[in-house]
Structures are given as C-alpha cells and as structure tokens.
Amino acid sequence: MKNRQPRLGLFCSTHDGILSTNRTIRLASLATDKVIEVATKNLEDFPKIIEFCYEKNITMFRLGNSIVPFASHQKFDKNVWEVLKPLFEVGKNSNKEKNIRLTIHPGQFIQLGSKNPKVVESSLAELRYCCDILDLLDAKDGVITLHLGGTNGDRKATMERFFEVFTKNIWLGKYLALENDEYNFTASETLEVANRCGIGMIFDIFHHSINQSEITWEEIKKSWKEKRPKVHISSQGDGKVGHHADFINEEEFLNLQKFLGDDFFEVDIMIEAKKKEEAIEKIQNLY
C-alpha cells in the first residue's frame, strides 16, 4: 500500500518541452492561419498532457496563457474560435473522467488596479479570454491566478480601484483568485482584497518569505469557501532574488506542509520549478 500523496501541479509544458500548451507567435506575424496552426498544436497536446498528469499522479495543470496566441488582441480574428471548437471539445472530453484541475496565469501586464482606463480595459479583455478558455474546457474547479499588480505609488488607492473594477465585472468571480507577490502586495494585503471581492487567495510561500506579513493558514483557507484551496511553492535559484530553482528545496516543502497542517493533503500545490515533472517526482518520493 502506497503512502498518501500530496496533490501537486505542473505548469504549461513538460520539462523536455515535447508537450506544450504555450507555443506562441510574434505580433508581427499575427495572421489567422498562423494562429490556427499554433493553437492547434497547443490544443492537440492538451489531452496528451492530461494523460501524462494522470499517469504521474499529478492532479493540477496550468494552461499556457498563449494557448490561443493573441486572442485578446484587437487584431485577432474571432473566426478562429469556430475553427478551434472541435479541438476544445476533444480536450474537454479528455479530462471528463480524469478531473485534472485546470488553471491559467495571465502575465504582469494585467493590471486591474491601474489608473489608466485603457490598461484596465485590455486587462479585462485578457481575463475574459482566460475565462472563455476554462469554460470551453468545462473546468468546473478552474482557477485564474492573478496578482494585484503594481502599487501605483499608493497601495490603498490601488486596492480600492481593484475592488471597484471587480464589483463592476462580477463575472470575474467565477474563476479568479489572488496571489501575493514578492515586490508589492503582501499575503495579508492580498487576502484583504480577496475577502472584499469574495474570492480565494493563493498563498505563495516563496513570495511570502521575501515579502513578509502576518498571516495564518486558517484565514487564508476561509477565503476559498467551498472550493479546494490552491497554494504555490518554488525555491530560490542561482542569481537574482525571486529566480526559480530547478527543484524544490525539501526543507521548504516540509515547512509548507507544517504551515498547512491537517489540510496538507487536501490542498492543491503548484510546483514552480524549472525541472517541472522531475521536481514533482522528487517530492512524491518523500511520501
């Protein structure tokens, strides 16, 4: 009888790069044919990755944000969606039984708390796209992972603007969750906004170790209500602070286990390590 395994997540692609949902193009080469070609490759790999995760006992997968490249860009040809529909259908069915939890993580340019209305508008377009992707794959417990963004010189005012944009776009609440970051908003501030919006807070223990605040697991857990909480872990790599390492430091992982207490086996843990599935396997071997 095998010991109980934690619920671990893989992001974007396999380490060897053979399977990927994150192929993209350059804006300069944006054309309908090209988008269809690249998105088709990404979507054809999706069922293979689901199978891969299932076999490796990986319970969560982060889709690449360029799974359909430039989908929220003004110049994007919306007819592409019609062409891709059958591929989404296949993808959806491939995960029907396996129930790998799906997530997506838009980039640092998504700033709902920005002072610039144009930035907010394009951020909403990108989040709408993320939502559509999860809908098309019927990701019932899907998560869009987002940071609060820059502080814009006044963190309280930025938090307030974020909340106001959220209340005007309630559809965001279906999948959105907020993650603490290593430079700007601490876990405690992030939780405060998540609670006001009534959405989950993703606790990143690595960011928390760099950008500290007072916080307990119990209060984070509450923000998820009936949903299964999701957390992130990565370790410091060589070079600059914040760089991800190839693997997860064993001691740090055990610290996360301690932090989560009795909930450890019930929480989804995204493993942000460059060696991806190899790093996951190393952790699985601990249990």
Interaction between residue 62 and DNA (CB under 7 A) = no
List 48, 56, 228, 244, residue binding DNA (CB under 7 A): 244
Quote the least distance from Cβ 93 to DNA, whole Å: 25
Interaction between residue 234 and DNA (CB under 7 A) = yes
**Residue 5 or residue 169: which is nearer to DNA going by CB?**
169
Neighbours of 191 (CB within 10 A): 23
Are 270 and 60 in contact by the 8 Å Cβ rule? The answer is: yes
Interaction between residue 196 and DNA (CB under 7 A) = no
List 56, 73, 196, 222, residue binding DNA (CB under 7 A): 73
**Residue 96 or residue 240: which is nearer to DNA going by CB?**
240
Interaction between residue 18 and DNA (CB under 7 A) = no
Give me the sign of the Cα torsion angle 61, 71, 44, 31. Answer: negative
Give me the sign of the Cα torsion angle 187, 101, 175, 133. Answer: positive
d(CA 18, CA 144): 25
**Residue 140 or residue 156: which is nearer to DNA going by CB?**
156
Interaction between residue 36 and DNA (CB under 7 A) = no
Interaction between residue 243 and DNA (CB under 7 A) = yes
Interaction between residue 274 and DNA (CB under 7 A) = yes
Interaction between residue 153 and DNA (CB under 7 A) = yes
Interaction between residue 28 and DNA (CB under 7 A) = yes
The string of DSSP letters for 182-248 reads SSS--HHHHHHHHHHHT-EEEEEHHHHHHS-----HHHHHHHTTTSPPEEEE--B-SSSTTPBPSS-
Interaction between residue 72 and DNA (CB under 7 A) = yes
d(CA 128, CA 261): 35
Interaction between residue 70 and DNA (CB under 7 A) = yes
Are 284 and 57 in contact by the 8 Å Cβ rule? The answer is: yes
Coil, strand or helix: which one is 103? strand
Lookup: tokens for 8: 């671990």
Q: Binding string, 86-125, against DNA, x = CB under 7 A?
A: ---------------------xxxxx--xxx-xx--x---
Quote the least distance from Cβ 1 to DNA, whole Å: 36
List 183, 227, 261, 286, residue binding DNA (CB under 7 A): 183
Interaction between residue 59 and DNA (CB under 7 A) = no
Residues with Cβ < 8 Å from 178, sequence gap 6 or more? 146, 147, 148, 190, 193, 194, 197, 199, 200, 201, 202
Neighbours of 185 (CB within 10 A): 28
Interaction between residue 146 and DNA (CB under 7 A) = no
Interaction between residue 32 and DNA (CB under 7 A) = no
List 142, 149, 200, 229, residue binding DNA (CB under 7 A): 149
Binding residues vs DNA (CB under 7 A): 12-13, 17, 20, 22-29, 38, 64-66, 69-70, 72-73, 107-111, 114-116, 118-119, 122, 126, 149-153, 182-184, 234, 237, 239-244, 272, 274
